[in-house]
Amino acid sequence: MYLKRLEMIGFKSFADRTELEFVPGITAVVGPNGSGKSNVTDGIRWVLGEQSAKSLRGSKMEDVIFAGSDTRKPVGYCEVSITFDNTERKLPVDYTEVTVTRRVYRSGESEYLLNKKPCRLKDITELFMDTGIGKEAYSMIGQGRIDDILSTKSEDRRAIFEEAAGIVKYKTRKKEAEKK
């Protein structure tokens, strides 16, 4: 399984529809300061369910929508789609490609889609559980995160190993069952 494509429409500095294609192996994103490199990784975290505006370097969720520039008007909504290759069926759905989309309007209305069908954030979180993919999972290592991992409490560090071992799913289900 690998990240195949990222599509952004009206997300942060990407006013126009912008599509990035990835291939297996290493991809480096380079560019001058302020050209939008970090906005790309913000887009990946946002589409996977990031709820904290601050962690996306804004003050409110609306800040992810293109706010206009000297030459362009602001836009009314933004959308990010991320596509994973699933030919090996690592994700438990019968599709060779899995696309997650998140859309939000200035009015605050928002939605998530899984292969173009409306779904809940919970469905997306569960789908990626134990894969290492997710807004908090180890496939995204942000600046300073290694320090965090090393200095964190042993119980918190254990969570990273549990995700890698693939048992988070079962722990979550157990917790949910205990609530009922």
Q: Which residues are annotated as a binding site?
A: 32-39
Does residue 16 interact with ligand ATP by CB under 6 A? no
Minimum CB–partner distance for residue 61 and ligand ATP (Å):
11
Minimum CB–partner distance for residue 111 and Mg ion (Å):
28
Candidates 160, 163, 141; CA nearest to 152 is 160
| Binding residue ranges for ATP | 32-39
| Contact criterion met (CB below 8 Å) for 8 and 43 | yes
DSSP notation for 103-161: EEETTS-EEEEETTEEE-HHHHHHHHTTTT-SSSSTT---TTHHHHHHHS-HHHHHHHH
Candidates 161, 22, 45; CA nearest to 171 is 161
Does residue 34 interact with ligand ATP by CB under 6 A? yes
Does residue 38 interact with ligand ATP by CB under 6 A? yes
* Contact range with Mg ion by CB under 5 A, out of 29-37, 40-48, 159-167, 172-180: 29-37
Does residue 55 interact with ligand ATP by CB under 6 A? no
Interacting partner of 13 out of ligand ATP, Mg ion, none (Cβ under 5 to 8 A depending on kind): ligand ATP
Q: What share of the chain is helix, strand, coil (3-state, %, to 5)?
A: 30, 20, 45
Minimum CB–partner distance for residue 74 and ligand ATP (Å):
7
Does residue 55 interact with Mg ion by CB under 5 A? no
